Amino acid sequence: MSTVGWITARGLFGRRRFLILLPLPLLLVGLAVLCRSLNVAPSDWGPAVLVGLGLAVVLPVVALVVGTGVLGAEIEDGTVVHILTKPLPRWQIVLPKLAVATAVSAATVAVPLFVAGLLADSVRLGLALAAASALGALAYSALFLALSLLTRRPVLLGLVYVLIWEGLLGRFADGTRVLSIQQWVIALADRMAPTDLLGTTVSVPVAAILTGLVAVGFTVLAIDRLRSFSVAGETS
Amino acid sequence: MSELTGVIHDIGYQRYTGPRLGRRHVFGALYLHGVRTAFGLGRSAKAKIFPWLVVAIVLVVAAGLTAVRAQFGEVVMTYAQFADAMSWLVIFFVAVAAPELVSRDLRSGVLPLYFSRPLPRGDYALAKLGALATALWLLLGAPQLVMFLGAAFTTGDGMSGVWHELLDLLPGLLYAALWAVVFASIGLLIASLTGKRAFAAGGIVAIFLMTTPVVGVLSIMPSPTINELAFLASPSTLVGAVGTWALGDLLVPEGQGGGMPIGDFGPVYAAAVVLLVAGCVTLLLLRYRKVAAR
């Protein structure tokens, strides 16, 4: 692991505020255990916990906080110039940061989702959910990392995407689901472990291709943006 | 050593001898500034993007509903249902406005300046809370007013039609006020814990969103009592349940299957809302009893 990666990981874990990420996965596991122990049918609680909480809330919110934090925090307090002035190619800055962001969000989300999937159906569903959410974490992290370079308010813009595009429009206008990372994750997980618990209108090949495109495209965009990056003060 | 020849020139500095405005004016100024901050008024264009995006969406939805009602005579949403349907936008607005109101002051370290004035600690927090609640109420109330005006001008029953419509609007506005108070107190408390606006926004959204699926799970538990108490778990359903209990048919007309199945637990929900708001305000006041200089 490169030095940039170490610095990023220490910057994430070294602060107390990282602790606010913990309640989300704990709640996910807690609800799954509660439902299982009370013998509620998985077809009743599965969609609410796995999709409603896990894939629609925990995954995007964790990826948003981590993904905008790995580079955004340094840009905000101005210490990014210390990295930018080192004789490093830009991709050697972006890629380690993306790797750390993906690994942290994937670990935070995939483990509880695996447990929840295991309790809901089978080991296979658990593994499928874990793998699909790790892919989703990659796509979300690339998107939010690029956002933190494109705008001064990456968290709010990311919330617009998560709340208004995926949340509000995804419910009322089906067409927007094709361009929703959340739906791709559902499609991929459903393909790896077909059950009645997950369902989406997006086809699997489309989901797989678009996930790859978003991950690669936004990474390239981030590297390109970092090439001519101007450090400015805080927005008013 | 030469003779000292320095003089002190009187360049006209004067003591302030005019009237000194009291605590009420300080509170009022802070409150008004807070309401303007929530909408980005008096700030750069960048600060206006997100608040006005939300305002634009709710107004467009309200205009669309009004147009449908005027053209086809079909009431898609009542005033109260409008507030419920916009809940995600309200959450987003809180995530935008609450960090602007309190996190910026924490981050830039200006709180010692505020508190070196004759401004009690509580007043600062309460003025900010009032400002956020007012902003939220305006956000929900303005579209309802648009819907009311549309309905009033297209009503076929003359003045009595307008009067009926007004009787529908008033409970809707009251309900919007309940939304505003609950969401403002929770959101401001979370935002006051961190000086980073980005983190405050993420925290607010996480708290509001993670509670909604809990309601979904609790309402399918094998126990009717738990099912009827499930709506306690999330602020937005809590507000809806209190509205169902307190305003009932005034919010959702009979035959629309509206309201929440809360059984006989209405007073429990009302007490829960009061406790929640009181608890959040108390914690907020405690939070500002001592602030770090930087």
Q: What percentage of chain A's residues is helix, strand, coil (to nearest 5)?
A: 80, 0, 20
Closest approach of chain B CAs to the CA of A38, in angstroms?
Answer: 8
pLDDT confidence of residue B283: 94
Domain that holds residue A173: 3-227
Please report residues of A whose CB lies closer than 8 A to that of B209.
57, 61
| The pair of three-digit structure tokens given for residue A84, joined into one six-digit string | 């930018």
A42, part of any domain: yes
A196, part of any domain: yes
Choose, out of B53, B54, B89, B209, the residue to mutate when testing the contact with A (most A CBs < 10 Å).
B209
User: Cα separations (Å) of B164 from B64, B168, B170, B256?
Assistant: 21, 6, 10, 18
% of residues, chain B, pLDDT over 90: 33
Do the Cβ atoms of A159 and B46 come within 8 Å? Answer: no
A233, part of any domain: no
Candidates A172, A166, A168; CA nearest to A185 is A166
Angle at B282 between CA B280 and CA B284, to 5 degrees: 70
- How far apart are alpha carbons A187 and A192 in whole angstroms? 9
Whole-number average pLDDT of chain B: 86
pLDDT confidence of residue A175: 77
- How far apart are alpha carbons B161 and B32 in whole angstroms? 36
| Residue among A52, A76, A163 minimizing CB distance to B91 | A163
Choose, out of A35, A45, A53, A147, the residue to mutate when testing the contact with B (most B CBs < 10 Å).
A53
pLDDT confidence of residue A236: 44
A223, part of any domain: yes
* Residue stretches of chain A with pLDDT short of 70: 1, 16-17, 231-236
A17, part of any domain: yes
CA of residue A76 relative to chain centroid, distance: 21
**Radius of gyration (Cα) for chain A, nearest Å?**
18
- How far apart are alpha carbons B94 and B90 in whole angstroms? 6
- CB of A98 closer than 8 Å to CB of A142: yes
Number of structural domains (chain A) is 1
Candidates B184, B13, B178; CA nearest to B91 is B184
Do the Cβ atoms of A61 and B206 come within 8 Å? Answer: yes
Choose, out of A35, A64, A159, A161, the residue to mutate when testing the contact with B (most B CBs < 10 Å).
A159
- CB of A117 closer than 8 Å to CB of A42: no
Could you report the per-residue pLDDT of B44-82, keeping only the tens digit for each?
888 898 999 999 999 999 998 888 888 887 777 788 888
- How far apart are alpha carbons B107 and B293 in whole angstroms? 10
pLDDT confidence of residue B47: 85
| Residue among A35, A61, A168 minimizing CB distance to B205 | A61
Mean pLDDT for the stretch of residues B133-137: 96
Do the Cβ atoms of A156 and B96 come within 8 Å? Answer: yes
**Residue at token pair 């309940």:** B178
Closest approach of chain B CAs to the CA of A52, in angstroms?
Answer: 6
Do the Cβ atoms of A20 and B213 come within 8 Å? Answer: no
Mean pLDDT for the stretch of residues B113-129: 87
Do the Cβ atoms of A27 and B210 come within 8 Å? Answer: yes
Do the Cβ atoms of B206 and A31 come within 8 Å? Answer: no
3-state SS assignment for residue B137: helix
A133, part of any domain: yes
A205, part of any domain: yes
| Residue among B43, B50, B198 minimizing CB distance to A68 | B198
Please report residues of A whose CB lies closer than 8 A to that of B212.
52, 57
A50, part of any domain: yes
- How far apart are alpha carbons B105 and B293 in whole angstroms? 11
Instruction: Indicate the range of A49-53, B71-75, B208-212, B242-246 predicted with least confidence.
Output: B71-75
Mean pLDDT for the stretch of residues B163-175: 87
**DSSP sequence for B41-88:** TTS-HHHHHHHHHHHHHHHHHHHHHHHHHHHH------HHHHHHHTHH
Do the Cβ atoms of A17 and B91 come within 8 Å? Answer: no
Could you report the per-residue pLDDT of B87-110, keeping only the tens digit for each?
889 999 999 999 999 998 888 888
- CB of A199 closer than 8 Å to CB of A93: no
Candidates B135, B183, B179, B105; CA nearest to B35 is B135
| The pair of three-digit structure tokens given for residue A46, joined into one six-digit string | 């599965």
* B258 pLDDT more than 80: no
